[in-house]
């Protein structure tokens, strides 16, 4: 029989855990039908951690059938109060297991444990608490008077079986944003983690079972996107699919829906988020926020402020402070160990991503001949992992590929602007529209920017500070639909209209 568990040791934290490796279907871990497995690599060392089961199309069918049976047989009849109890049970377990879950994110995704992974878990706790309390508050319909003898009412009902595909940059946080909202709304779920960061969600599945969720309500099926993702997108018995990842793959998910059963779609795709710094901004505050907004999580954030536009009168001063902050505060640590407290910026996810970012850097430096600053010598090979130093390109023209294309690493471009209208035009000159930021003391200017920018999220005098209560999603090619906040439940509900006529024949 294929290996379904392994013992993992994390000596830096003195943690030993029993790590599930199988597919999680009907509250049990099971082998894949064809015996395929995927190696997962520690990006800080380049070494294999373990191998886990990779689902086949047959396994997708099995998981979807389990979710359908659970929805029709149990979950659709479960009261909102009881669903809230299950989520509250899950919340307690997450709180108890925070260090273990964060450690798995560090091991598998390279997130610095103290400054990054634990913050992700704190957000997951906040989000789960929010949805546990939201279950019976956001799925209410309305009554609509029509005539003296007729009225109508609406019901908000779950879709049924929901498929969810989550990315590798926030393996557990993104999964929880989708999963907890769908469960609160009353759906059953088949969820696919990214093939290079599946460990934390597989371990999380053990908490789902401990929390008391009935078999089949949540099914976790790791595997290759070309197999599992494609099968979920085209499956005729899935009612809705929620995807977070690249714009290219998001388009494929949308296309698959159209070619199958027109399943409802939520997409959160790429971004090239602008940040504007006006001459009246609190400069030190802006520098600190913007450094965090591009270097946190090694720049592997869809909302990363990877384009910074600074008013020309303060441009040189900003650039000087920004470089100093990057060099002083964003360090790999002496041992290149994400478990070390001194490690603030970790590796990028894989050798493939390392090479891709490296090509962008070489393009900017050698082909486009841009002015470049890095906090340490590149390439960084003090460890065998995939470490890329914070990289800043200045005086970057709007036509540069580095300014137009999503790099998804700790690389930022900085450019000048003169007037508000000039800055707005530059900021909106992109096919993306996920997030944006503006730094100014001028209240009128700040709210004008919020009105005029074509982006789903606007931060004023801060950046990349997400809240569980606030809807999140993109404009243009950054996606369709919203998650988090009340949208995180409404997103997984559909409206049914009921007409009542109590007139009598005369």
Terminal CA-CA length for the chain: 74
d(CA 391, CA 294): 10
3-state secondary structure 71-128: HHHCHHHCCHHHHHHHHHHHHHHHHHCHHHHHHHHHHHHCCCHHHHHHHHHHHHHHHH
Structural contact between residues 303 and 464, judged by C-beta atoms closer than 8 angstroms? yes
Which residues contact residue 328 at a Cβ distance below 8 angstroms, ignoring those fewer than 6 apart?
A: none
| Number of other CB atoms surrounding residue 262 within 10 Å | 8
The single residue of 268, 279, 282, 406 carrying the catalytic annotation is 268
Asked whether the CA dihedral 183, 185, 190, 191 is positive or negative, the reply is negative
- The tokens describing 185, both together, are 């709304």
- The three-class DSSP label of residue 208 is helix
* Triad 7, 128, 41: Cα angle to 5°: 35
149: phi then psi, degrees, rounded to nearest 5: -120, 20
Concerning whether 268 is annotated as a catalytic residue, the answer is yes
In order of 138, 503, 504, the CA distances from 152 in angstroms are 19, 14, 17
Structural contact between residues 283 and 259, judged by C-beta atoms closer than 8 angstroms? no
d(CA 364, CA 372): 8
Sheet holding 150-158, edge to edge: 143-147, 150-158, 493-501
DSSP 483: B
- The tokens describing 198, both together, are 């599946």
Structural contact between residues 166 and 178, judged by C-beta atoms closer than 8 angstroms? yes
Structural contact between residues 250 and 165, judged by C-beta atoms closer than 8 angstroms? no
86: phi then psi, degrees, rounded to nearest 5: -60, -45
Residue whose token pair is 């404009």: 475
List residues with catalytic annotation.
Answer: 268
């Amino acid at each position: 029989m294929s290996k379904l568990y392994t013992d993992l040791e994390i000596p830096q934290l003195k943690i030993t855990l029993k790590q599930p490796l199988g597919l999680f279907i009907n509250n049990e871990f099971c082998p894949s039908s064809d015996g395929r497995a995927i190696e997962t690599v520690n990006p800080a060392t380049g070494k294999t951690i373990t191998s886990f089961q990779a689902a086949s199309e047959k396994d997708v069918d099995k998981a979807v059938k389990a979710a359908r049976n659970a929805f029709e047989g149990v979950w659709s009849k479960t009261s909102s109060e009881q669903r809230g109890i299950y989520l509250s049970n899950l919340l307690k377990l997450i709180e108890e297991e925070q260090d273990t879950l964060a450690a798995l994110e560090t091991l598998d995704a390279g997130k610095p444990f103290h400054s990054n992974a634990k913050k992700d878990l704190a957000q997951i706790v906040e989000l789960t608490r929010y949805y546990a309390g939201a279950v019976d508050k956001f799925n209410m319909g309305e009554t609509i008077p029509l005539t003296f003898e007729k009225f109508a009412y609406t019901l908000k009902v779950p879709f049924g079986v929901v498929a969810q595909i989550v990315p590798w940059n926030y393996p557990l946080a993104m999964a929880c944003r989708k999963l907890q909202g769908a469960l609160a709304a009353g759906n059953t779920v088949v969820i696919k983690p990214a093939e290079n960061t599946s460990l934390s969600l597989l371990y999380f599945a053990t908490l789902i079972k401990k929390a008391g969720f009935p078999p089949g309500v949540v099914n976790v099926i790791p595997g290759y996107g070309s197999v599992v993702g494609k099968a979920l997108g085209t499956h005729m018995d899935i009612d809705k699919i929620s995807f977070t990842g690249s714009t290219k793959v998001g388009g494929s998910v949308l296309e698959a829906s159209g070619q199958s059963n027109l399943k409802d779609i939520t997409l959160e795709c790429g971004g090239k988020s602008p940040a504007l710094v006006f001459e009246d901004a609190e400069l030190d505050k802006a520098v600190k926020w913007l450094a965090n907004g591009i270097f946190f999580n090694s720049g592997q954030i869809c909302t990363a402020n990877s384009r910074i536009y600074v008013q020309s009168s303060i441009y040189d001063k900003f650039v000087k402070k920004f470089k100093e902050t990057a060099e002083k505060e964003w360090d790999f640590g002496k041992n290149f160990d994400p478990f070390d407290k001194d490690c603030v910026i970790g590796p990028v996810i894989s050798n493939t991503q390392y090479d891709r970012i490296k090509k962008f850097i070489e393009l900017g430096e050698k082909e486009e001949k841009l002015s470049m600053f890095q906090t340490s010598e590149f390439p960084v090979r003090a460890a065998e992992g995939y470490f890329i130093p914070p990289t800043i390109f200045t005086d970057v023209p709007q036509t540069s590929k580095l300014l137009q294309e999503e790099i998804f690493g700790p690389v930022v471009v900085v450019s000048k602007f003169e007037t508000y209208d000039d800055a707005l035009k530059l900021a909106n000159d992109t096919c993306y529209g996920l997030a944006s930021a503006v730094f100014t003391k001028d209240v009128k200017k700040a709210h004008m920017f919020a009105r005029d920018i074509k982006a789903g999220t606007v931060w004023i005098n801060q950046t990349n500070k997400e809240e569980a209560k606030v809807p999140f999603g993109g404009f243009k090619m950054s996606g369709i639909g919203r998650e988090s906040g009340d949208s995180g439940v409404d997103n997984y509900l559909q409206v049914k209209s009921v007409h009542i006529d109590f007139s009598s024949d005369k």
